Amino acid sequence: MNEPILLRKQIIGLLILLLTVCLLEGIIYLLPNPQPAHEPTPVPDSLVTKTKPLYSRDTITLHLQPFDPNTADSITLRQLGLRPWHITNIRKYKAKNGTFRSKKHFRRLYGLTDSAFHALEPYILLPDSLPERDTLTTDTTPFDSTRFHQPSHLKRDTIIELNTADTASLQFIKGIGLYTAIQILKYRNALGGYHNAEQVREITDIDYAEWDSIIPHLTADTTLITQLKVNNASVKQLQKHPYLNFTQAKALYELRRENIHLHSIKDLNSLPLTDKEKKRLAPYLDFSVTNTPQ
């Protein structure tokens, strides 16, 4: 009789113990789990960079310079920091409307953010706005484009002399923007002047498809070329010329030392120069002799 009672009590006690354990587990599960206070693990810069977009329309890096959106070429627009879609939209706008007549009209360019426009605004060579009677009511309103920006429309008949031109005068030629004009002058300084207009094709910073339409509007006065004093120039001075590398400049210098002085381009036949290289170099060499070495 006592054994069944004892067994029953043990079972009841075990059940109570299990119930208590279950209740405690439930309470612990439902209570919020406190997190230890600690500094967040820093994210490596490399990972942060990978999560950033390649570019943001609101954070365009601009290389600011004065420009006219009606005449600036694609290279100039890219130098300003404008994206390819901006340049495409500029072309579409001009094809549809003829020209930008004011900064207000340029602001209508699709895809141009407020931040980009406000950064560019002081450099846009256009009036802030037009008189009320001249303003366009819509982008499709027809108008006589010859009433505005007449210099840009006179470009087709303009001839510019390369060896006296500045960046402003070069931009009177259709297809030449500020960037292209600067590169033309930089190459002119390196050469010592242009011997013929075709030399602009040699400018390494520009691979320009429109040279064919531009070159007929350029001319070169060869009397304005600054020549190298062959019989007095150092190797350093010789190799600065775009048509001579270090090896050729050194060979020319050594040849001159051996022969006391050189008299004409024919004296360079032994140098590592092709006939074509000698022909293009000839206008830039002065074989006269001065008493004071340069």
Per-residue pLDDT in tens (0 to 9) along the chain, 294 residues: 566 677 777 788 778 887 887 777 777 766 655 554 444 444 444 333 333 333 444 454 556 778 888 888 888 888 888 888 888 888 877 777 667 878 887 887 877 888 888 888 888 888 877 655 443 333 443 433 333 343 444 455 578 999 999 988 898 888 888 888 889 999 999 999 999 999 999 987 676 677 888 899 999 999 999 999 988 889 999 989 999 999 988 998 888 888 778 888 888 888 888 889 989 999 999 988 776 544
- Among the residues of the chain, which ranges form H helices? 2-30, 45-51, 74-79, 84-97, 103-107, 114-120, 150-153, 167-170, 178-191, 211-214, 235-239, 246-259, 275-281
- Tokens representing residue 279 in the block: 């022909």
CA–CA distance, 91 with 145 (Å, rounded to integer): 16
Say if CB 267 and CB 259 are below 8 A apart.
yes
* Non-local CB neighbours of 210 within 8 Å, separated by 6+ positions: 73, 175
Q: Which CATH architecture has domain 153-223?
A: Orthogonal Bundle (1.10)
* 139 CB-near residues (< 8 Å, 6+ apart): 93, 96, 97, 108
Q: Judge contact between 47 and 72, C-beta under 8 A.
A: no
Q: Which residues, 6 or more positions from 32, have their beta carbon under 8 angstroms from its beta carbon?
A: none
Residue labelled with tokens 């994206």: 83
- For the stretch 166-206, pLDDT in tens is 988 898 888 888 888 889 999 999 999 999 999 999 987 67
Of 194, 153, 188, which is closest to residue 174 (Cα–Cα)?
A: 153
Query: What does the alpha-carbon distance between residue 68 and residue 101 come to, in Å, rounded to a whole number?
Result: 10
For 105, 129, 136, 232, the CA distances from 140, given in Å and listed in that order, are 12, 18, 8, 65
- Strand 285-286 to 228-229 pairing: parallel
Reported as a single tens digit per residue, the pLDDT across 98-140 is 678 788 878 878 778 888 888 888 888 888 776 554 433 334 4
CB 253 within 8 A of CB 231: no
